[in-house]
Structure 1
Amino acid sequence: MRALIAAVLSASVALPAAALAKPSLREVQEIEDPLFAVAVAKEVSDHCDRISPRYLKGLGELRRLKARANELGYSDAEIRAYIDSDAEKARMRAKGEKLLAQNGVSYEQPETFCAYGRAEIEKKSAIGVLLRAK
Structure 2
Amino acid sequence: MRRFAAILLSAGLSSGPVAALQPLHENPTVVNGFYAIGLADEVRKNCSSISPRWLAAYNYLRALEKYARDEGYSEAQIEELVENKKEKEELRGRIRADLAERGATPENPEGYCTVGREEIAKGSVAGKLLRAK
TM-score scaled by length of structure 2: 0.82
After superposition, residues 3-14 of structure 1 pair within 5 angstroms as none
CA shift for structure 1 position 98: 1.6
CA shift for structure 1 position 23: 1.2
Task: Indicate the percent of aligned positions where both proteins have the same amino acid.
Answer: 38
Structure 2: gaps (5+ residues): 1-16
What CA deviation, in whole Å up to 9, does each residue of 1:25-75 have, x standing for no partner? 122111111221011101100111110011111100000000110011111
After TM superposition, what 4+ stretches of structure 1 lie above 4 angstroms from structure 2?
none
Aligned-residue Cα RMSD (Å) equals: 1.2
How many angstroms apart in 1 are the aligned matches of 2:126 and 2:19?
32
Counterpart check, 1:44 vs 2:43: yes
More helix by share: 1
Secondary structure of 1:49's counterpart equals coil
Structure 1: gaps (5+ residues): 1-15
Indicate the residue corresponding to 1:56 in structure 2: 55
CA shift for structure 1 position 119: 1.2
TM-score scaled by length of structure 1: 0.82
Indicate the residue corresponding to 2:115 in structure 1: 116
- Matched residues, number: 117
